[in-house]
Chain A
Amino acid sequence: MTADLQLTDEQIETILEDMVEVHGYDFTHYSRASLKRRIIRLVSLDKFLSFAEFRFKVRQDPSYLNRFVEQVTVNVTEMFRDETFYRTLREDVLPVLATWPLIRIWHAGCSTGEEVYSMAILLQEANLLHKSLLYATDINPAVLEQVRSGVFPLHQMKQYSDNYIRSGGRKDFSMYYTAQYDAAKFDERLGKRIILATHNLVSDRSFNEFQLILCRNVMIYFDKELQDRALKLFDDSLEALGFLALGSKETLKFSTVTGNYRQIENKEKIWRKIK
């Protein structure tokens, strides 16, 4: 898809500055290449004829702010994405978490909640859900509404069921939802332990202490400086001996907190806080 209206790098910067100045959302430390592509895509989707028109909308129309945040961030997600990752959670991480009286988990950048529901299923099967709290946060309020509904597209269930089985699930995956037309409504018991809040990793602070923090496929959209800020925030929010889980192409290696962590043995992107 080639957009009709191309924006220059300067125009992209102008829009990002407007977002800070007018709305208090700071995207200036996001990876430019991806961000530029998303903004040009938005301009094309919404059929703006000129940069001036787009800029006016961004600055003047308060309802367009949500649209901008929704479209410029990437929300693609899946249940039980990366089978070996979920297998490791099930086999190596949950047994350790089980020894805490109350388990607090933070899904930072949870998107529409597929990852959170996958975790709830793991906890349920380990008989730990009743003593767990899953904090699911995202910058985008619209995706949190979807998490709240517990409803996912039915046509995805075949793939999620395959992912679930390959990650070591032994149950019939369809027992976790009821099909209603083209939607799969997940068991309300899974949703009960999920707490939702908007939280911006750019500007918001630590709000609790956790034994497990997951932030997967969020920091690839940040530049190094913002990645480091987010990792410090997670470090401040993680209990001693807690776990930090990142996406399959993300790492703690280059951050300033790396010395406090040891990667788990099978080299999945999960680190344990040792200091």
Chain B
Amino acid sequence: MNPKYEVLAIGGSAGSLSMLLTLLPHLVPTLNIALVVVLHRKDSEDNTLVDVLRHRTMFAVKEAEDKETIETNTIYVAPTDYHLLVEKDHSFSLDNSEKVNYSRPSIDVTFESLADVYGPTVVGLLLSGANADGVDGLKAIKKAGGGIVVQDPAASVVPYMPQQALNALPADMLLHEHSLERFIQYLADKSQ
């Protein structure tokens, strides 16, 4: 039997918010999963994302804090201007080192770190964006045996990022508005 998914890692850039907001209400506590969300923001001082997400979900939503332990049924948002990494004891570490792919937080940094710690129990979801951040991260998740889901480029506001991912590796499934139920089922099959 495959191990269950413990963490859903979501990365997105330009045009990704609407898909995220559409997805959130479908996530139910019986999935027993934690979410780690890394979104590029234009304004590096903008801290309103947590409030935006909070209205769409029954999960707790908070900015990830240094040394905080990851718990299920919680959505952790990477703070602006720090990379978000994960330790072996499932706690977060923040890091303000150089930007990666012109981004801080960088999706690659968080995905690679989650792959290292959670291995086959992490599923990576890459959404719309104009940058190739997240592709190496998905490769790392794949290599560690985790799941790969990519927003359908045809259904993405900015298809570049998901298309780069699909050029680099096969996805377990494509996400668009009409495949949300199937996506939840995909998570559920692996998280009971």
Chain A contacts to B: CB under 8 angstroms: 1-2, 9, 31-34, 36-38, 74, 76, 217, 220-221, 224, 227, 249-250, 254
B85 pairs with A37, CB closer than 8 A: yes
Chain A's closest residue to B83 (CB) is: A34
Bound complex: CA A66 to CA B160 (Å):
41
Contact (A2, B95) CB under 8 Å given A33-B87, A37-B113, A220-B66:
no
Bound complex: CA A33 to CA B114 (Å):
10
Bound complex: CA A32 to CA B91 (Å):
11
Bound complex: CA A36 to CA B115 (Å):
14
Q: How far is the CB of A231 from chain B (nearest CB, A)?
A: 13
B109 pairs with A37, CB closer than 8 A: yes
Bound complex: CA A249 to CA B92 (Å):
12
B87 pairs with A38, CB closer than 8 A: no
Chain A's closest residue to B92 (CB) is: A33
Contact (A31, B87) CB under 8 Å given A74-B95, A249-B82, A250-B66:
yes
A221 pairs with B82, CB closer than 8 A: no
B96 pairs with A2, CB closer than 8 A: no
Contact of A33 among B85, B96, B136, B140 (CB under 8 A): B85
Q: Indicate if B88 sits at the interface (CB-CB under 8 A).
A: yes
B100 pairs with A1, CB closer than 8 A: yes
16 A-B residue pairs with CB within 8 Å: A32-B88, A34-B83, A34-B93, A34-B95, A34-B97, A37-B109, A37-B112, A74-B95, A76-B97, A76-B98, A220-B66, A224-B67, A249-B65, A249-B66, A249-B79, A249-B94
Chain B's closest residue to A38 (CB) is: B97
Contact of B93 among A2, A9, A31, A217 (CB under 8 A): A31
Chain B: interface residue count, which band?
20 to 34
Bound complex: CA A36 to CA B87 (Å):
10
What residues on A are CB-neighbors of B93 within 8 Å? 31, 33-34, 220-221
Q: A32-B87, A76-B97, A217-B96 are in contact. List 15 more A-B contacts (CB 8 A).
A: A9-B88, A33-B93, A33-B95, A33-B113, A34-B93, A34-B97, A37-B85, A37-B109, A74-B97, A220-B82, A221-B93, A221-B95, A249-B65, A249-B66, A249-B94
What residues on A are CB-neighbors of B86 within 8 Å? 33
What residues on B are CB-neighbors of A74 within 8 Å? 95-97
Chain B contacts to A: CB under 8 angstroms: 65-67, 79, 82-83, 85-88, 93-98, 100, 109, 112-113, 116-117, 136, 139-140
Chain A's closest residue to B81 (CB) is: A248
Interface centre among B65, B66, B117, by most chain A C-beta atoms within 10 angstroms, is B66
What residues on B are CB-neighbors of A227 within 8 Å? 67
Bound complex: CA A9 to CA B116 (Å):
10
Q: How far is the CB of B11 from chain A (nearest CB, A)?
A: 16
Chain B's closest residue to A83 (CB) is: B45
Q: How far is the CB of B78 from chain A (nearest CB, A)?
A: 11
What residues on A are CB-neighbors of B97 within 8 Å? 34, 38, 74, 76
Q: How far is the CB of A183 from chain B (nearest CB, A)?
A: 20
Chain B's closest residue to A219 (CB) is: B66
A220 pairs with B94, CB closer than 8 A: yes
Top 4 A-B residue pairs of the complex, sorted by shortest distance between their CB atoms: A33-B85, A31-B93, A74-B97, A34-B95
Contact of A31 among B85, B109, B117, B136 (CB under 8 A): B85
Q: How far is the CB of B103 from chain A (nearest CB, A)?
A: 13
Q: How far is the CB of B133 from chain A (nearest CB, A)?
A: 11
What residues on A are CB-neighbors of B87 within 8 Å? 31-33
Bound complex: CA A221 to CA B85 (Å):
11
Bound complex: CA A1 to CA B98 (Å):
12
Interface centre among A2, A221, A249, A254, by most chain B C-beta atoms within 10 angstroms, is A249
Contact of B136 among A1, A76, A217, A254 (CB under 8 A): A1
What residues on B are CB-neighbors of A220 within 8 Å? 66, 82, 93-96
Bound complex: CA A217 to CA B136 (Å):
27
Interface centre among B97, B100, B136, B139, by most chain A C-beta atoms within 10 angstroms, is B97
What residues on A are CB-neighbors of B65 within 8 Å? 249
Chain B's closest residue to A84 (CB) is: B45
Q: How far is the CB of A52 from chain B (nearest CB, A)?
A: 22
Contact (A76, B96) CB under 8 Å given A2-B139, A249-B66:
yes
What residues on A are CB-neighbors of B139 within 8 Å? 2
Bound complex: CA A32 to CA B116 (Å):
11
Bound complex: CA A217 to CA B79 (Å):
14
